[in-house]
Amino acid sequence: MKICMASDFFYPNMGGVEEHIFNLSQCLLARGHNVIVITHSYGDRKGVRYMTNGLKVYYVPIKVFYNQVVLPTMICNIPLLRYILLREQIDIVHGHSAFSTLAHETMNVAQLLGLRSVFTDHSLFGFADLSAVVTNKFLEISLANCNHCVCVSHTGKENTVLRAKVHQDKVSVIPNAVDTAYFTPNPCRRPNDDETINIVVVSRLVYRKGVDLLAGILPKLKHLPHVHFIIGGDGPKRALLEEIRERNNMQDRVVMLGALEHAKVRDVLVQGHIFLNTSLTEAYCMAIVEAAACGLQVVSTKVGGIPEVLPASLIILTEPTVDSVYRGLREAIRREMEKKQITSARYANGSIDALAPTPSETSYAGLCAFERNQIVANLYNWNNVTERTEKVYRTALREAPATLESMMKNVLKSGVWPFVLVIALCHLILRFLDWFVPRKHIDLCHSENPFLSPDCKRHQRRSSDDNAALITAVRRKREKFS
């Protein structure tokens, strides 16, 4: 199959969607498929770039409108998208993220060209505020002609079915995965003493990630001198955390690392004993899976699809309130004390003894860091995710290509009848381009990927020998006729 991943979010931007696209593309390439990625330009990064294993990325020269998303014009990018899809002989367009305008536009062009489209929703949305209403209606229009949808959790599936009005039989649940061979524990990086406990927080410092909850927890733990925080990430809420840190004189115990590259996240995680996630809404949360793979005890708010991500032995779930998260952290600290065999006498002045016992929803199994990594490896791996995604692709390919009439009827069901005119205009533009730039005049790309061939070096050696023989033959002919 020839697959096109389309999204506004890709490298050099880093995040859960970007990592998902890259890892899924790499696994599809390894299984013999041809994969390309279409995203907008990032600074000077324009044109065609090649990444690991020959993954071709089209950085199309489209200006960013807001929050790394291009302006939703629906028609201005049709010539370029058509040219790329026809040149690469794409079979399936796989769009990612409901926020991505480029993904929706590419899927629309693909449907009008007779290709199949699949969409993966990575987020949860509400139903009350104005932005959610507008986004949900736009998503409903976009997914009206989509062949199949993928959600990363069952909670995400329910959310997508309700807000986008997609039939539940057209929505599959395929979770994210983590490279447990990379996210491995390293207990040697933790503090050597038997007293210090490091709590790691790695996330964007925005309201949706529950930074206000974290700001309320820090003062409650200032009386525990051996509990330290390592906070990685950046965002508008960073100033709030720095203010709380200075107000409570915790500069030596709260380390702010700022923005982190994904390659450095593992180096930060292995320094901690406990990972804290305070998100207010989350469809899946890759961060807690990566933390568990690194052997950390996870404490997380019980929102969205988080309860179905990790088993009870790896995570302590709390309500999204300061007191509940504090009690969860207290339970995690007690468990780490048991593992470290820290006596209560060492915390006589630190009031750990003064805390009342808190019943936990999970039983402490005494798992070591490498046992946690093995559990995550058995639960989530990219090979399994890729196999399930391939089944979705095959299901979409078995469906008949969409016609202009069926696309208009599907859009009319959403109630936004003016969008029918947009579909008709896109169709007319494509017909004009078929006359102005006929398909027979578009050069087709080579389908084979030499980067993944096991006999790549042998082929290169053979081609060099053939070239040498050709040069020798040409030289002999020149000598003969001279």
Instruction: For 32-68, write each residue's pLDDT tens digit.
Output: 899 999 999 988 888 899 988 889 999 999 888 877 7
Q: Higher model confidence: residue 460 or residue 140? A: 140
Mean pLDDT on 149-153: 90
Class in CATH terms, 2-177+384-451: alpha beta
Of the chain, the percentage scoring pLDDT greater than 70 comes to 87
CA distance 227 to 197: 5
Output the CA torsion sign for 128, 133, 137, 138: negative
Mean pLDDT on 190-212: 86
CB atoms < 10 A from the CB of 21, how many?
26
Tokens of 31: 């299984």
> Above 50 in pLDDT, residue 126?
yes
Say which DSSP state 190 is in: S
Is-same-fold flag (2-177+384-451; 187-380)? yes
* Residue 56 vs residues 49, 70, 287: alpha-carbon distances, Å: 6, 21, 27
CA distance 373 to 199: 18
Which one is the CATH code of 187-380: 3.40.640.10, 3.30.930.10, 2.70.98.30, 3.40.50.2000?
3.40.50.2000
Q: Higher model confidence: residue 433 or residue 204? A: 433
Q: Give the burial string for 300-339 (b: 16+ CB within 10 Å, else e).
A: bbebbbbeebbeebbbbbbebebeebbbbbbbbbbbbbee
Q: pTM for the whole thing?
A: 0.78
Amino acid code (one letter) for 114: G
pLDDT of res. 35? 93
CB atoms < 10 A from the CB of 394, how many?
11
CA distance 414 to 436: 33
Query: DSSP strand E in 313-373: where?
Result: 315-318
3-state secondary structure (DSSP) of residue 32 = coil
Q: Where are the domains of the chain?
A: 2-177+384-451, 187-380
Average pLDDT, the chain: 83
3-state secondary structure (DSSP) of residue 346 = helix
DSSP string across 86-109: HHTT-SEEEEE-TT-HHHHHHHHH
The secondary structure of the chain in percent helix, strand, coil, rounded to multiples of 5, reads 45, 15, 40
Mean pLDDT on 466-477: 53
Tokens of 236: 């508008």
pLDDT of res. 465? 53
CA distance 117 to 145: 8
Closest CA to 29 of 60, 52, 59, 58: 52
pLDDT band of residue 358 (cuts 50, 70, 90) is: very low
The per-type count for the chain, helices as H runs and strands as E runs, is: 15, 16
CA distance 224 to 337: 13
End-to-end CA, the chain: 52
DSSP string across 410-435: HHHTTT-THHHHHHHHHHHHHHHHHH
Closest CA to 298 of 322, 319, 273: 273
pLDDT digits over 311-320, tens only? 888 899 999 9
Contact 98, 9 (CB under 8 A): no
CB atoms < 10 A from the CB of 456, how many?
12
Residue 228: alpha-carbon gap to chain centroid: 29
pLDDT of res. 341? 63
> Above 80 in pLDDT, residue 148?
yes
